[in-house]
């Protein structure tokens, strides 16, 4: 049996943000394999997130972030279930990191449904014109457009974006990790991103 050292637990904890006991359990379950342990925690976080999906997240914070000497500013509303969790340093840091991500990655909405219909239509038209320009058959256009739109949502929706601080995770993964850590439902309700000249 593999001995799980305190150093291994510390490393996994720093990497995942999960609690000490969860990290120890994950390392034990994966025989000390750091990658498998990280995956184990992510799956566990997802299971916790699914259990909490029906709960009400009516507390939280509005977090701000100003970047590049006042050239970019972000306000984001991050919700949780209790005022107690909303005031913890971990939650506040999480909200700040989400605001910083929004400043850097410039998403158009939290989820695909947030993106205005006219923006989606414009994107589809561009993809349609590109496909025709490349001589693609008409009957294949919709399939090509669907594929391009799927990538567009991955790049443009906050929940689907790769997290700027760890590109192995999406924002949804980061939230699920925070749900596992706090034991509460956590959501990003809305945000506003301002940039000078835009």
What local confidence, expressed as pLDDT, does residue 79 receive? 93
What is the reported pLDDT for 54? 63
**Rounded distance between C-alpha atoms, residue 196 and residue 198, angstroms:** 6
Cα–Cα distance for residue pair 102/110, rounded to 1 Å: 10
CATH number of domain containing 134: 1.10.286
Alpha helices in the chain (DSSP H): 6-16, 20-29, 34-52, 83-86, 89-105, 117-133, 138-156, 171-182
Mean pLDDT by groups of 10 residues along the chain of 198 residues: 80 71 83 84 64 71 90 95 91 96 95 90 90 85 88 92 92 90 88 89
Same domain, 11 and 38: yes
Domain count, the chain: 3
Instruction: Report the pLDDT value the prediction gives residue 25, as an integer from 0 to 100.
Output: 84
Same-domain check for residues 170 and 77: yes
Instruction: Check residue 102 and give its pLDDT.
Output: 96
Backbone angles phi, psi at 150, to 5 degrees: -60, -45
């Amino acid at each position: 049996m593999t001995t799980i050292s305190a150093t291994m637990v510390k490393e996994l904890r720093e990497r995942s943000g999960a609690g000490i006991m969860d990290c120890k359990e994950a390392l034990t379950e994966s025989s000390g394999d750091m990658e498998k342990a990280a995956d184990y925690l992510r799956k566990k976080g997802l299971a916790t997130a699914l259990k909490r999906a029906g709960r009400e997240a009516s507390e939280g914070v509005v977090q701000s972030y100003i970047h590049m000497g006042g050239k970019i500013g972000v306000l984001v509303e991050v919700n949780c279930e209790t005022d107690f969790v909303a005031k913890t340093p971990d939650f506040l840091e999480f909200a700040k990191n989400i605001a910083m991500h929004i400043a850097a990655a410039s998403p158009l909405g939290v989820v695909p449904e947030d993106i205005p219909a006219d923006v989606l239509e414009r994107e589809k038209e561009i993809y349609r014109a590109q496909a025709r320009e490349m001589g693609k058959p008409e009957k294949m256009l919709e399939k090509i457009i669907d594929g391009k739109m799927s990538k567009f949502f991955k790049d443009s929706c906050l929940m689907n974006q790769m997290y700027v601080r760890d590109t192995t995770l999406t924002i949804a993964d980061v939230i699920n990790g925070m749900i596992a850590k706090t034991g509460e439902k956590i959501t990003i309700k809305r945000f506003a991103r301002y940039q000078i000249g835009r």
